[in-house]
Amino acid sequence: MTAIDHHWQRFTLPQKLSRYAVYLCVLLALLVSLRTVEVIPEFFYDAPAQMADLFRRMWPIDFAYYPMTVQGAMIETLNIATIGTLLTLPLAMPLALMNASNVVASPWVHWIARFFLVSSRSVNSLVWALLFVAIFGPGVISGVLAIAFRSVGFVGKLLGEAIEEVNMGAIEALRATGASWMSVLLKGYWPQVMPAFFSIVLFRWDINVRESAVLGLVGAGGIGVVLNDAMNLFEWQRVSMALLAIFVVVIVAEILVVNIRKRLI
Amino acid sequence: MAGIAPGAVDRDNPFKRNGLTSAGWVLLAAYLLYSFNTMGVSWERFSNGLGFADRLLERMFPPNFSRSELLLGGLVESLEIAIISTVIGIGLSLFLGLFAARNLMPLWVSAPVRSLIALCRTFHPVIVAILFVKSVGFGALAGILTLIVASIGFIAKLFAEAIEEVSLKQVEAIRATGAGFVSVILFSVMPQVLSRFIGFSTYQLDSNLRNSTMVGIVGAGGLGGTLFSAFQRFDYDFVAAILITIIALIMFGEFLSNVVRRVFR
């Protein structure tokens, strides 16, 4: 008779060891960072008092400031977000098709598409804005281009994944009839990808509303310019007005997106 | 096929147009025309911009890595900010997520925690960073606090949603043994959600790494500050070097989070 080992283990030894290695690495990294990071302790202890002081200076909110500059800048911000999102589409759709392995088979094409998508996502929208402000000068155009170039990576990646999940039966049937590649794209892929497409675009628009609100800090138009000016002049009550406007618009955009998505899908 | 009830199909006109949707498209088109007009794009400005872009690229290449000390200093600070804020943010989210789960907590606990989490999510990290810079001063501390707020907004929300989806059978089984509240959480809820929580956390490490290179633009420490001052001094070859470093850092972060995810799968 052989004795059955009743001792149950959830993980094997290598699994356990690699887990502990990760914990250890995280702990070490945290300790090293905490020891070397340049944080001035006085500032840290002082932080709650300073925060309270800042909020006290922001109150009461200067509502008289709203019609003067905030409204126009907020509309500009929404324009930047919307046009930027739409400008993304002609850039992202070819890249998404190139990235989907069931549309294009060549690994070279995939590699090129992935390169563009990854570099678009790695560079933050503020950095894109800095680049475009250096090229086109301050203003809405730089903001729109920054939003568009930043969104390409996100939209292209998600859209490519949606295209890869398409049911290939319909595509094969269309191909068997001798349809041209344009017809295959329009009648085979598009109807299956459409719900995902709209949901991705709406999601990105929602993100872009948040992002375009800060682009003005580097001079790319929108409410960020107003925020920056008010802060440079230490007009804290106006700052809180601009922040409140951003808050309301972001919430409204989110509610809008949720409702449109419910209706479309 | 996908959920088409036979009675719901209009046999005479299966592709009936939806009036509301068409009106929506018309409105969108009108809005686009209007916003393009307000943007003030002219062909002249665009072609001028292309000339500037050419000169900018000429000055960016080859990238100038000669000031490697400054570059490495910023890089290390970005890494430190990302690590500290991710660990603290995850730790706080673990508790906030538990308190925000509606199936574990009474409404008077979950509702305020939920609104706190929502508040952390509404403002773009750059705006949060500005507020922290104004209240705790320039430097890494402001960046750390900003990214902690961003991590809470993301992880705590997803974690709370994951907890709300747990199977209640295991919770009941543990309760039936007479276990206290802490034991119920530790032995029935946690095992069900821990793997997803680690997924969110590695994603957040990745995203904090990206954002830690950006908060410096408003003075909250890290590589972004170096980038912004290089932009202001028109050192475009140094800018190119910093951008390459940022992209390398982010690819390294993606690699790292993949490794961690594989270990915990």
Which tokens in the block code for residue A135? 């090229």
CA–CA min distance B66, chain A (Å): 22
Least Cα distance to A10 among B92, B219, B264, B70 occurs for B264
Q: How far apart are the first and last CA of chain A?
A: 62
- How far lies A264's CA from each of A88, A249, B30, in Å? 21, 22, 21
Q: Give the H/E segment covering residue B227.
A: helix B223-232
Give me the pLDDT at residue A88, please: 92
Listed in order, strand segments (DSSP E) in chain A are none
Distance CA A8, CA A262 (A): 47
Report yes or no: A62 at the B interface, CB cutoff 8 Å. no
Q: Are A146 and A220 in contact (CB under 8 A)?
A: yes
Task: Encode pLDDT of A83-123 as tens digits.
Answer: 899 989 999 999 998 888 888 878 888 888 888 888 888 78
Mean pLDDT of B116-141: 84
Give residue for tokens 């809005």: B31
Q: Which residues of A touch B52 (CB under 8 A)?
A: 134-136
Contact B101, B160 (CB under 8 A): yes
pTM: 0.79
Q: Give A251's contacts in chain B (Cβ within 8 Å).
A: 122
Average pLDDT over residues B215-238: 83
Q: What are phi and psi of B137, to 5 degrees?
A: 90, 165
Of A21, A37, A50, the CB nearest to B80: A37
How far apart (Å, rounded) are the C-alpha atoms in residues A262 and B108? 29
Considering only CB atoms, which chain B residues are within 8 Å of A58? none
Q: Does A40 touch chain B (CB under 8 A)?
A: yes
Mean pLDDT, residues B49-77 taken together: 78
Q: Show the CA angle centred on residue B47, arms to residues B43 and B51, nearest 5°.
A: 165
Rounded CA gap, A188 and B144, in Å? 48
Sign of CA dihedral A60, A64, A69, A70: positive
Q: Nearest CA of chain B to the CA of A64: how many Å? A: 22
Taking contacts as CB-CB distances below 8 angstroms, the residues of chain B near A118 are 247, 251
Asked if A36 and B80 touch (Cβ cutoff 8 Å), the reply is yes
For residue B211, list chain A residues with Cβ-Cβ distance below 8 A.
124
Q: How far is A189 from chain B (nearest CA, A)?
A: 16
Of A124, A134, A218, the CB nearest to B213: A124
Partners of residue A134 in chain B, C-beta under 8 Å: 52, 56, 231, 236
User: So what's the pLDDT on residue B12?
Assistant: 63
State whether A210 and B40 contact (CB < 8 Å). Answer: no
Q: Residues B80-97: pLDDT tens digits?
A: 888 889 899 988 998 888
> Tokens standing for B241?
């070097």
* Cβ distance of B228 and A227 shorter than 8 Å: no
CB contact under 8 A, A141 and B144: no
Q: What is the DSSP letter of B221?
A: S
Among B87, B134, B250, select the one facing A30 at the smallest CB separation. B87
Smallest Cα–Cα separation from B146: which of B95, B83, B100, B211?
B211
pLDDT value at residue A241:
87
Q: What is the mean pLDDT of residues B113-133?
A: 86
Asked if the Cβ–Cβ distance from B45 to A141 is below 8 Å, we say yes
- Counting Cβ atoms within 10 Å, is residue B265 exposed (0-12), middle (13-18) or buried (19+)? exposed
Lowest mean per-residue pLDDT among A204-213, B61-70, B183-192, B205-214: B61-70
**What average pLDDT score do residues B207-212 get?**
86
Between the alpha carbon of residue B184 and those of residues A50, B160, B172, B187, the distances in Å are 41, 16, 9, 6
Whether A211 has its CB under 8 Å from any CB of chain B: the answer is: yes
Query: How close does chain A come to B10, measured CA to CA in Å?
Result: 19
The torsion angles phi and psi of A119, rounded to 5 degrees, stand at -70, -30
| Cα–Cα nearest to B123, from A244, A153, A199, A146 | A244
3-state secondary structure of B135: helix
- From chain A, pick out residues whose CB is under 8 angstroms from the CB of B141: 39-40, 43-44, 47
Nearest CB to B243 within list A123, A141, A144: A123
Q: Which residue of B has its CA nearest to A212?
A: B124
Q: In this structure, is the dihedral angle defined by the CA atoms of residues B199, B200, B203 and B209, taken in order, positive or negative?
A: negative
How near does any CA of chain B get to the CA of A47, in Å? 5
A196 in contact with B, Cβ within 8 Å: no
Q: What's the mean per-residue pLDDT of chain B? A: 81
Average pLDDT of the residues in B113-120: 87
- CA distances (Å), B202 to each of A260, B124, B147, B170, in order? 31, 20, 14, 27
Distance CA A39, CA A258 (A): 41
Q: CB–CB of A50 and B126 under 8 A?
A: no
The predicted pLDDT at position A265 comes to 65
Residue B4 has pLDDT above 70, yes or no: no
Task: Work out the burial of residue A57: count CB atoms within 10 Å of its CB; fewer than 13 is exposed, 13-18 middle, 19 or more buried.
Answer: middle
Cβ distance B80 to A39 less than 8 Å, yes or no, reads no
pLDDT computed for residue B13 by the predictor: 64
pLDDT of residue A148: 92
Summary mean pLDDT of chain A: 84
- Helices A236-264 and A223-232 pack at an angle, to 10 degrees, of 160
Model pLDDT, residue B9: 56
Under an 8 A CB cutoff, do A40 and B137 touch? yes
**Position with higher pLDDT, B225 vs B1:** B225
Which percentage of chain A shows pLDDT scores above 90?
A: 7
- Closest CA in chain B for residue A124: B214
DSSP B217: G
Is A134 in Cβ contact with B52 (below 8 Å)? yes
Q: Note the pLDDT of residue B201.
A: 84
Is residue A99 packed enough to be buried (19+ CB in 10 Å), middle (13-18) or exposed (0-12)? buried
Q: B53 CB contacts (<8 Å, ≥6 apart)?
A: A135
pLDDT tens for residues A156-191? 988 988 888 888 888 888 888 888 888 888 888 888
How is B143-164 classified by DSSP, letter by letter? HHHHHHHHHIIIIIHHHHHHHH
Q: How far apart are CA A160 and CA A102, in angstroms?
A: 10
Tell me whether residues A37 and B77 touch, CB distance under 8 A: yes
Chain A residues in contact with B213 by the CB 8 A cut-off are 124
